[in-house]
């Protein structure tokens, strides 16, 4: 009867560890999907910032041309350069934010997967410990 109880305990421990690993793998897969979606959203946001920068540049060009001062005036050229730099900064900031967040999510995915593997390994060691303890008691 004790052997049957041991077998049930060992089996349930190993099964629980296997389930924990599966859960970790599933969580990791879902987190990686979220990371990919966040990265894509960052690219879309950067494209929108690029479009806004181009619109601002176009508007500034139209205003400069309408003012009669000319677009080659040093002050106007500096404004254009500043607009371009600000637009580039905003685009790169959006890309960085999306990538940074995606990498954080991917790190959590790696942690979830490693945690599942560790729980499976721990359950196997626990089952082995139970078997050795049983053998020591009843040998």
What would you measure as the largest C-alpha separation in the chain, in angstroms?
Answer: 103
Domain that holds residue 91: 2-138
CB 27 within 8 A of CB 134: no
Overall average pLDDT of the 63-80 stretch: 84
Spatial CB neighbours of 110, under 8 Å, sequence gap ≥ 6: 28
E strands of 49-117, at which residues? none
pLDDT score, position 114: 96
Asked if residue 122 has pLDDT above 70, the reply is yes
What value, to the nearest 5°, has the Cα angle with vertex 51 and ends 60 and 45? 135
Overall average pLDDT of the 86-109 stretch: 98
Task: Write the pLDDT tens digit of every residue in 3-38.
Answer: 887 788 888 888 889 999 999 999 999 999 999 999
CB 117 within 8 A of CB 83: no
Mutual angle of helices 2-67 and 74-138, in 10-degree steps = 180
pLDDT score, position 68: 80
Question: What is the rounded distance in angstroms from the CA atom of residue 98 to the CA atom of residue 44?
Answer: 10
Overall number of domains in the chain: 1
Tell me 68's DSSP state.
T
């Amino acid at each position: 009867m004790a052997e049957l109880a041991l077998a049930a305990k060992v089996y349930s421990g190993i099964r629980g560890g296997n389930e924990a690993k599966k859960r970790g793998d599933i969580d990791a897969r879902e987190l990686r999907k979220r990371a990919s979606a966040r990265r894509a959203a960052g690219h879309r946001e950067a494209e929108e910032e690029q479009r806004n920068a181009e619109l601002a540049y176009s508007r500034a060009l139209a205003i400069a041309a309408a003012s009669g001062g000319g677009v080659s005036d040093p002050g106007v050229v500096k404004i254009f350069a500043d607009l371009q730099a600000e637009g580039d900064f905003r685009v790169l900031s959006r890309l960085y934010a999306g990538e940074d967040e995606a990498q954080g999510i991917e790190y959590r995915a790696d942690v979830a997967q490693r945690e599942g593997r560790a729980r499976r390994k721990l359950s196997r060691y626990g089952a082995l410990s139970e078997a050795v303890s049983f053998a020591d008691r009843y040998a």
